[in-house]
Amino acid sequence: MKKVLMAALTCVASITYGLDAEVRTKYSITDQVGEIKGTNGAKLTKDGEDTIIEVPSKFNGVITILPKSEYFDFSGYNGFVFDWKNESEGQVKVKIRIDNKGALDWAKCALIFTYLDAGKQKGTFMRFHRNKTMVENATSQFPDLAFTKMNGTPSGFFMHWLTVDLTKVTHIRINVLPQNFRQKIRIKDLSLIDKFEDKSKFIAQDGFYPFIDKYGQYKHAEWPGKIKSDADLKAATEKESADLEANPEMPNRNKFGSWSKGQQREATGFFRTEKIDGKWWLVDPEGYLFWSNGVTCVGAPNAETDIESRPKYFELSDEDKSSPFYKKHRKSGIMSYDHTRANLLRKYGPNWRNISLDLAHKRLKSWGLNTIGMWSDDDLMLMQRTPYTVAVHYGYESSGDKFPDVFHPDFPNWVGDAIEAKKAHFNDPWCLGFFINNELHWKHPKDFANILFKENEKHYGKQAMIKYLSVLLNIEDFAKATGKNFANWDEVLKTSGALNLDDLEKPISDFYTIMAEKYFKVCHDELEKRNPNTLYLGARMHVYRPLVFKAAEKYCDIVSLNLYEFSIAGYARITTKPFISSEFHFGAYDRGMFGSGLKWASDQDDRAQLYHDYVKGALQNSSCVGVHWFQYSSQSFTGRGDGENYQVGMMDIADNPYPEFRDAMREASREMYETRAK
């Protein structure tokens, strides 16, 4: 079978792939390829220099490309290109994965989904992602590739903790996902792209710095929608105004964005949940069915970036440096600049803030979104034009990395005082609910116990755990299980190191359950005490711990999960309560930005389609009552405080909607309630 596909694995030079305007050179992988197999119905044939993949209706066809030696080595390149044409009667969806041993969809692989309409041809681009060590090793070899405080860089590096070891690629797998028709795909080429040294030479050239223009964009590339003058900003504003006037709102919606043509349930004056015909729903204050289709960070300052430590990166005039957007960052204390807010001033004038808040409500209504998610502007929410959620964060003494000591006697006060600070939202019918905290580090029970064992003897969580264990076990059995010579429990309390807990799994897990339940109960009770009419939306969890999920279901009205997946149609880890996907996103590289986010797409068309399919799958999940995209506005090209510089905004750095994404939101929203009801 190798000869069939080998003709496609050839070098084609001087071709662009939308990631920027530079001409890219492709490099053949022919000399590394061994066997090529088609399985699960996939049939390979040759047509001249091309290869045809044919897959029967309803089959998940698989093409596997194996290396000539033990591994492929792709470490000298920044990406992979899959050139193909759809010769089927309808749209096809292809999953491409580059694997290490033991790869899963979320680890030890590079993964991308791509779509193509019937008769269309394109190049699907997969950028290789590297972890911190891989980036450091590469930049020591090519120092001109190094950029500070940026997860994604102009050099082509994108740093991510889940990645593939490019020196040990075991195979390339192409899945042609099932359709209700026979699929036919023409493979034109599979190639590596963009050598490290090519970029190094490019960056070292005179004139590279500053590489960020006054609008906050990358100077050395072109893409559709790039702003080059204030006149471009004005033209974009006029174009969007016409679009919003032509598309003011979705049909069959009431003022809350609920389903005005659907059945009406009991009206309580506030949002609540109800299970109807086996499906969970939200019910709005007037009793109409509601499904929360939202977005986070609306109206928030999302494009602030460090100027002080990297002045040569930016094209800023003296006027820019005297603007209110050039200031000390509230957390870091370093000088930062917010390009998006500066662009809002250029677009809308001195009243930019009020105009942009008003525009946000209009946009959401036009696009079919009905919820303002986490970390959004407080004034925007209190305008009572779009339902919203409230973010509650509190200061605490920790039990390890990013987790509070829930046994501390002041824990209820920490939570209660933080909720009280949000009293402007109490008893507001437009408030969907309160999130309390975000992405706490729920460690494995044994790991969490050892974090406590390392604490000093005055730590309340450590005291509580040892007291619990002392009731269940005698000291001799505990000492034997841990392999230590403890004479009494006071010695255990004074220990300051990790212990072997393999033989204590049940008591440690039982204590972990008590801790998790205490956390959620306190949050629930403190909210109920102050604001009983508002839903408790949980803690926006991002790691699966069964014991934590059970505790959350016991006390949350809705369990919130940050689900960065390609689909949640079959997500079934929440069993007794409704859940909301409180964060998800997809990013791409074809609008000049350097980072693609936590889940990535080849281009804006694929990004839009992935969003559409995610929402559609969530609507089909009987327990899911909403999804919230992260985030509304663009992140900075040069990164926020932690280096994130992802292409995940609904708008770009100049506050202009991505048209492909806007259209996908409308398409997914238009029949949202009918889809849910089916």
State the DSSP H helix or E strand holding residue 439, giving kind and residue range, or none if neither: none
Report if pTM > 0.85: yes
pLDDT value at position 17? Answer: 43
pLDDT value at position 398? Answer: 86
Tally of CB atoms within 10 A around 423? 10
Report the amino acid identity of residue 59.
F
**Structurally, what CATH architecture does the domain formed by 2-203 represent?**
Sandwich (2.60)
pLDDT value at position 145? Answer: 87
**Residue-wise pLDDT tens digits, 235-254:** 999 999 999 999 999 999 99
DSSP state letters, 317-331? -HHHHTSTTEEE-TT
Closest CA to 40 of 138, 173, 136, 204: 173
pLDDT value at position 296? Answer: 98
Low-confidence ranges of the chain (pLDDT < 50): 10-22
Could you tell me which residues are beta bridge partners of residue 125?
81
pLDDT value at position 24? Answer: 66
Backbone angles phi, psi at 106, to 5 degrees: -115, 5
* Straight-line distance from the first to the last Cα atom of the chain, in angstroms, rounded to the nearest whole number: 45
**Placement of tokens 């590279």 in the chain:** 208
Contacts of 364 (CB under 8 A, 6+ apart): 295, 298, 370, 372, 386
100, 169 contact by CB (below 8 A): yes
For residues 500-531, one letter each, b for 16 or more C-beta atoms within 10 angstroms of the residue's C-beta and e for the rest, the string is ebeebeebbbebbbbbbbbbbebbbebbeeeb
What are the boundaries of each domain within the chain? 2-203, 258-303+368-439+519-677, 445-513
Contacts of 609 (CB under 8 A, 6+ apart): 115, 664
CATH class of the domain whose range is 258-303+368-439+519-677: alpha beta
Report the amino acid identity of residue 115.
Y
State the DSSP H helix or E strand holding residue 305, giving kind and residue range, or none if neither: strand 304-306
The SS3 call for residue 289 is: strand
Cα(442)–Cα(58) distance, rounded to whole angstroms? 40
- Would 2-203 and 258-303+368-439+519-677 be classified into the same CATH topology? no
Dihedral, CA of residue 121, residue 126, residue 127 and residue 129, to nearest 10: 170
Cα(262)–Cα(258) distance, rounded to whole angstroms? 9
Contacts of 18 (CB under 8 A, 6+ apart): 125, 223, 589, 590, 603
Contacts of 142 (CB under 8 A, 6+ apart): 155, 196, 197, 199, 200
Cα(369)–Cα(677) distance, rounded to whole angstroms? 18
C-alpha distances out from residue 112 to 500, 516, 522, Å? 40, 36, 41
Cα(280)–Cα(575) distance, rounded to whole angstroms? 11
379, 300 contact by CB (below 8 A): no
Cα(476)–Cα(481) distance, rounded to whole angstroms? 9
